[in-house]
Amino acid sequence: MQINYQETTKDLLARIDIHEKYGARNIDQWTTEVLQPKPGMKILDVGCGAGKQCFLYSDYSKHQADITGGDFSNELLDKARAKNAERGDKCKFMFLDFNERFVFEDNTFDLVSSAFAIYYASNLDFTFGEAHRVLKPGGRLFVTGPLPENKKMFYDIIKEATNKPIPPMPGSSRFKGDIYKTIEGKFSKTELLTFENPLTFPEVAPFMDYVRASLSEDRKLWTSMFKDHDEYEALISEIEKVATRWFKRDGKLVMTKVVGGILATK
C-alpha cells in the first residue's frame, strides 16, 4: 500500500506546541516511564522528525545513551541537528526511509522506537522485519500511534461542518489491527499500552490552529476535502462555525488524544 503522506515542519511543531500547552498529561513522561532509557543503551528512533524522542531519551539517560534518529525529511533532520548543537548533545541524525532496508547490522540496538511515524510504512511486514533485525535479542520495540477513539471530537466537528466522511487515516485504522498483528507475529512478547490526554481549549482560536496544523494543504491525507486554496479556506471557515457553536454550548472544547503504545521484545 502506497500512502501519500507528507509532514511539514511547521505543522508538526505547531501540533507539538498545542499538545504541550493544552494537554492535561505529558506523553514524554509516559514514554520514559515505559521505556526507562538507560546510560549505555543503543537506541534508534525511526521517523524522528525534529528529534523530540531522541532528546527525551538523551535527557533521561543523562546524555549517556548512544542515540540515533532517522527520518526521510531533510528539513526536519536539519532542525534536529540544529537543536542537537544548541543543546551540546551528541545524538546522531541521519536520513532513513523506513520503506527501504535499514543501513544497520543485525542485532545492533537495545531499543527501536517510533512515535507517530512508522505506521505509515508501505509494507508493514518488511518495515517491522527491519526493526526486528536491527534489534539485539531481548531488545525492545516501542511504537506509538493513534487508537480509533483518538480525537473523536475533532472528527465529529469536521463531519458536522462538511457532511462528508472523514478520509481514511492510515494511522488509527491500522494501528490496533494490522500493525499490532504484524509485530506480534515477529516478536516473542507483545503488549498494547494506552495513554489518554484530554486537551482543553479555553477559546476557539487555538483549536482552529490545531485544525489548520492537521488539515494544511501540505498534509496530503486530507486533500479529498478540498481542491485548492479557496476550497481549503472555505472548509476551515465551516469548521470554525461549528467549533464556535460547540464552544458556546459547552463553554470549552475538549479533544482527547487516545494513543496506543505497542511494546514488543525480540
By CB under 6 A, name the binding residues for ligand SAM: 7, 12, 16, 47-49, 52-53, 71-73, 76, 96-99, 115-117, 120
Q: Which is nearer to ligand SAM, 98 or 195 (CB)?
A: 98
| One-letter amino acid of 206 | P
Minimum CB–partner distance for residue 171 and ligand SAM (Å): 9
Cα distance between residue 159 and residue 66, in whole Å: 45
Chain-centre distance of CA 182, in angstroms?
19
Q: Which is nearer to ligand SAM, 34 or 242 (CB)?
A: 34
Minimum CB–partner distance for residue 18 and ligand SAM (Å): 13
Minimum CB–partner distance for residue 237 and ligand SAM (Å): 26
Q: Which is nearer to ligand SAM, 9 or 108 (CB)?
A: 9
Minimum CB–partner distance for residue 70 and ligand SAM (Å): 6
Q: What is the DSSP string of 135-163?
A: EEEEEEEEEEEE-TTTTHHHHHHHHHHH-
Residue 3 burial (C-beta neighbours within 10 Å; 0-12, 13-18, 19+): middle
Cα distance between residue 81 and residue 68, in whole Å: 11
Q: Is the dihedral of CA 132, 144, 60, 138 positive or negative?
A: negative
Minimum CB–partner distance for residue 251 and ligand SAM (Å): 31
The residue with its CB nearest to ligand SAM is: 49
**Do residues 118 and 53 touch, judged by C-beta distance below 8 A?**
no
Q: Which is nearer to ligand SAM, 55 or 232 (CB)?
A: 55
List the beta bridge partners of residue 143. 114, 262
Q: Which is nearer to ligand SAM, 48 or 199 (CB)?
A: 48
